[in-house]
Structure 1
């Protein structure tokens, strides 16, 4: 121990006698000044004190250092013993995850021998690879399941640079990265998670149930049986939820309030809300099956907030056509069902109410700006023309935003641009519209309810008075600040909806022939020449337009194709690929085409004429965006497929847009979505 030296606070304590000796010498000098004999006496005592201090320090120093080393060794063994007996599993690995040391608790948990097991920790805990380890001087946590118990693993990095630099037997390569060990500490959180899960399972979930077609179903059955039909539906709903420990309270002839636990909600998810199909089996001679819409609010912070979210969810379910469940779970929205065609309402009360409300908003505004979706088609343009005529009937200035028309729209636009009966500024581009719209402008959005699909999304933020008229189903992303929203998925087209509104608007609106042509053309295109999504009200709207001067021959001439479009459509049909026996996928060439997306949608319609095809998908690349046109007749819900690709639409007519992807990647994504949808049982 002769080469070992003391340091720090211990060194100061050991040098204290030397300091006291210096003090005593000064005192001795002072005594000499007062009395010489006393000073000599004190000096003798001081000499004896110094001799004793030197003897004790010299003889006891080595023993003291030996005791200190012994204590440090024993202290390290105590620490090691404590770590070994620590109740929490603890382990140390190298930078590759190889186990170097672990305590008894870790050995008992894993069943590994502490002296011989030196494999990677990843062999014990799946996925615990070195690429997931924390960086220098950092700490991270992972959750895992081992032997059916939940563990939270805390991983801390330990840098060895200083230890290696101070070592006499190790040397660090300066070119290498820092050497590190990793400490693993495991916390068993099984009981905690069980209590958390139990708490979450017991929280209350609120929901609302509406009968979509109550009036229509009642009218389809004999009057004496109507009460029986209602009773059977009530019994079906009550028994279904009571069997799952839920509560049902009917508060209107066709409306119910439900309350249940989160555990019940999870069971309903597993059953995929088969109550929707069960209710349809109720039949006592009624020609029309009863369908339900269900809105549920869960995990929104309070019971009151859950109820508000349930109300928003039921509105969304009805806006998507009914016969489905919309679950608003926190910030996420999930859809179940929605596989049947939206039921056409026989009553026009709603159209009349919306017409009167729209009239009030137009009268209260200085000017009206009408906007459709990007790449405006004839349905958007025709419905915009209808709103334009309504505004002009009330002597209000009106403008239509047209920035990117398609080839089908261009002939109709030319009819208005070159017509002296119309203001030369009635059609605005996006730049002009931004200057036109202010807080006193009524902005009417037609044929879309998604803000990012509109011709200019910025206009939605320039005014607080927005009206939305659309026939597409609502999704998670919709225009939320509209003062009036009229969305009817059962309608064939936006033009049909506008034609109905015009009949109740200011005691009727007198249309000009070219305006009636535009509205009629919109209905004709969206129904594929009246072959799909047509109902009684569709033909009634067409009859109104015919009385207004619409000419079928004139409209047909405007839809004639040029030779390039015809050839591109033929190439699309010839390149079609059958997928999983019932789906057909093709790519529409976009070169030399003015509006390739229109050609693609037309080709998708024609592909349905092939025997055995349940749905067709045509992909078109245009301006670095892949446009997908999806079509079906009645066996497949293409809306669900397109929603999973970020789009939407109707059961038999939908689409999606994929920016910044190649056609090949878009086809692969579509096939993956088709596979997942088929395997999940959500397609039909």
Structure 2
């Protein structure tokens, strides 16, 4: 018969009569001494009877008692197993690799499997991958979805001591562990959270970009009709998504919508951008709008301020687009059309007066452009230098090693006794000299990591930014004056306008006029691209102040190596996706490969059927991309996907730690992806 081990508590209970018998045996001598022989004899007889009865009961009842205990334990185990099997809480056991060892009825019902299913848990819940199983952390949780229900899967690693082989000495807990998984139905909770998130308030601002220009292009009788139709479209657009829109100024609106409505508008790429352009009552210029939206903060005031920053960013990027700010994340929609040129110079005059006040209040002026500066950055810096010197403020242009493309012009300034060596200083010297009385003027870029010396921006509270590139996610923060006009052809054009209103005594010198005129020529490809009325007015002003086209042309002639490299890049160009020209410009033997790459990209636009061109060059352990287009493709959007920026038809990007093959593949992948998404 199988021997059953009786627990210690039961053993003590059975052995109690034996210990009591021993106590009675010890009591016999006490009776003999205190009560006499008769009492002792009676005690002995009673003790003998007690021992006989105890022995008989112990002999015949022990097996029966053991059987009763075993029967109870078996019944208790069956009840316990049945309770676990029929437990309302879904429960299962897995091995350490996720294989299903056992599951109760409730778990099997949710999984839609029978109790003999022993495959990996990922076959039931794909969200539970091996990486999400308990490892170093003995407890993990994963949200899983089955059918229309959402569950929180709580998993815990358990060490099964009874599985440890004591005889073989296998004490490794990892080999003797299982994973217990519990499912908690959180469908209702998830729906409540989703409903709460969908109904969050989102605030935004809408601005009519070219309000004045569009009204001027239509006769007086139809102006009110144009505005009425535009306002009707805007109000209907937000009313259709259960939003509220109110006009705050003649060309500005404030609106409130739900977050769910915002997702619907984003899915349709904010169709209002194109709908507004269809309104035509005889106006020669279509009205365009910009929208700034913000949410993510628990405070409405902070969201409203963020929305104001979003609309400013949209306008700074050229308008005709939507900027959505969700906390620290920013998304862009639209912006596929060229910025409308502003014919009035009121803004330039206001910025010029503000710049004069800022420079006048400081002791010294540092001017810097972007890394590997081009002639546009140099010309704009020279213009600001002349502004500072006109009001007797010390000024210096921060530049370490000018590239060969502008070195002749830089040397021309240094060798001129009117300027001298101190007109240009290194970044090291600038760091040593900068103090609280220094104003830093950044030209031809608005990204801090693109500047010649980003450290200078952190060492002063007076920062001025003048740029013609569209703004991106990363902008120079805390600028006391920011003048960014994406419609401008170049930074030199903007500075040429500023100097005309800066001070009546200001007189541009011929060498300075050459530098600024050259900047406009280079950025407009000899006045072929991105030119407007104000571009030619700025050029005329510089010509009147001594700019010599012949002198400039001689100064910026290409050498034979550059021409040969350009020809090879054009000959090896690939036509990708029927309308994109992509090529590599070898940097070997070139003094300014980025300039040659940009020139090559311009040349490739002359090929029939090419809508956009991209030329890549490997220079200083960095892949530089020059992107150009005429009017059908917005290359700025493509370059922003790669971390760069620029204009609709002139843009670029820099890819660090990337090979040429990887950069080519990334560019092509980005183009195809944006085509599929309808962004280009």
Q: TM-score range by the shorter chain?
A: over 0.9
Partner of 1:505: 502
Q: 1:212-269 CA deviation, whole Å, 9 max, x = no partner?
A: 0001111111112111111111111111211221111111110111111112111111
Asked whether the equivalents of residues 427 and 453 of structure 2 are also in contact (C-alpha less than 8 Å), the reply is yes
Among 557, 560, 571, the residue aligned to 1:560: 557
The correspondence of residues 444-463 of structure 1 with structure 2, limited to 5 A, is 444-463=441-460
Instruction: Judge conservation of contact 2:150–2:185 (CA < 8 Å) in 1.
Output: yes
Cα distance in 2 for partners of 1:500, 1:461 equals 29
Matches within 5 A, 1:187-586: 187-507=184-504, 509-586=506-583
Alpha-carbon shift at residue 312 of structure 1 (Å): 1.0
Whether 1:103 and 2:104 are equivalent positions in the alignment is: yes
Distance in structure 2 (CA, Å) of the matches to 1:272 and 1:569: 39
User: How far apart, CA to CA, are the structure 2 residues paired with 1:337 and 1:466?
Assistant: 30
Q: How far apart are the structure 2 equivalents of 1:353 and 1:19?
A: 109
Q: Which runs of 5+ in 2 are unaligned?
A: none
Distance apart, 1:297 and its partner CA: 1.3
Find the aligned partners of 2:300 and 2:599 in 1 and give their Cα distance.
49
After superposition, the Cα gap between the structure-2 partners of 1:364 and 1:18, relative to the gap in structure 1 and judged at 3 Å, is farther
Query: For residues 13 and 342 of structure 1, do their structure 2 counterparts lie closer, same or farther at Cα, with a shift above 3 Å needed?
Result: farther
Q: Quick check: 1:376–1:404 contact (8 Å CA) kept in 2?
A: no
Closer/same/farther in 2, CA of residues 356 and 41 from structure 1, 3 Å limit: farther
CA distance in 2, matches of 1:666, 1:306: 38
Corresponding residue for residue 155 of structure 1: 155
Query: Equivalents in 2 of 1:676, 1:24: separation in Å?
Result: 97
What's 1:141 paired with? 141
* TM score, norm. by length of structure 1: 0.92
**Equivalent residue, structure 2, for 1:125:** 125
Structure 1 CA distance for aligned equivalents of residues 124 and 591 of structure 2 = 61
The partner residue of 2:675 within 670, 675, 678 is 678
Aligned residues: 676
What is the rounded CA distance, in whole Å, between the counterparts of 1:158 and 1:398 in structure 2? 72
**In structure 1, what is the Cα distance between the partners aligned to 2:340 and 2:251?**
16
Partners of 2:164 and 2:176 within 8 A in 1? no
> In the alignment, is the contact (CA less than 8 A) between 1:325 and 1:336 conserved in 2?
yes
The 3-state SS of whatever aligns with 1:425 is helix
Aligned to 1:85: 86
Residues 634-671 of structure 1, C-alpha deviations (whole Å, 9 max, x = no match) = 00000111111111111001111111011101111111
2:163 alignment partner in structure 1: 164
Distance 2:17 2:501 in 1: 110
Shift of 1:124: 2.7
Q: CA deviation at 1:462?
A: 0.7
5+ residue gaps in structure 1?
none
**Structure 1 residues 253 and 96: CA distance shift in structure 2, 3 A:** same
RMSD: 3.0
What secondary structure, in the 3-state scheme, does the structure 2 residue paired with 1:504 have? helix
Q: CA deviation at 1:570?
A: 1.2
SS at 1:482 equivalent: coil
Query: 1:668 maps to what in 2?
Result: 665
Shift of 1:15: 8.1
- Residues in 2 aligned to 1:284 and 1:323: alpha-carbon distance in whole angstroms: 20
TM-score, structure 2 as length reference: 0.92
Q: Does the CA contact (< 8 Å) of 2:205 and 2:292 recur in 1?
A: yes
Q: Deviations over 1:327-364 (max 9, x none)?
A: 11222111110011111111111111111111111111
CA deviation string 1:409-449 (max 9, x = no partner): 11111111212111422211111111111222101111111
Q: Is the 8 A contact 1:2 1:62 kept in 2?
A: no
Q: Hey, what's the Cα distance between the residues in 2 that align with 1:598 and 1:40?
A: 130
With over 3 angstroms needed to count, the CA separation of the structure-2 counterparts of 1:378 and 1:53, relative to structure 1, is farther
Q: 1:37 to 1:261 in 2, by over 3 A?
A: same
Shift of 1:567: 1.3
Structure 1, residues 465-498: CA drift from partner, whole Å, max 9, x if none? 1111111111111111111111111111111111
Question: What is the deviation of 1:92?
Answer: 2.1
SS of match in other structure, 1:208: strand
- Separation in 1 of the partners of 2:250 and 2:69? 89
Task: Give 3-state SS (helix, strand or coil) of 1:634's partner.
Answer: coil
Q: How far is the alpha carbon of 1:539 from its aligned partner? A: 0.9
Instruction: Tell me how far 1:6 sits from its aligned partner.
Output: 3.6
Task: Classify the secondary structure of the residue corresponding to 1:375.
Answer: coil
Q: Distance in 2 between matches of 1:351 and 1:119?
A: 72
Aligned to 2:635: 638
Alpha-carbon distance in structure 2 between the residues aligned to 1:656 and 1:131: 36
How far the C-alpha of 1:134 sits from its partner, in A, is 2.4
Cα pair 2:17 2:54 within 8 Å, conserved = no
Shift, 1:505, TM fit: 0.4
Provide the rounded CA distance (Å) in 1 between the counterparts of 2:655 and 2:528. 29
Aligned-residue offset at 1:80:
2.1
Cα distance in structure 2, aligned partners of 1:53 and 1:261: 88
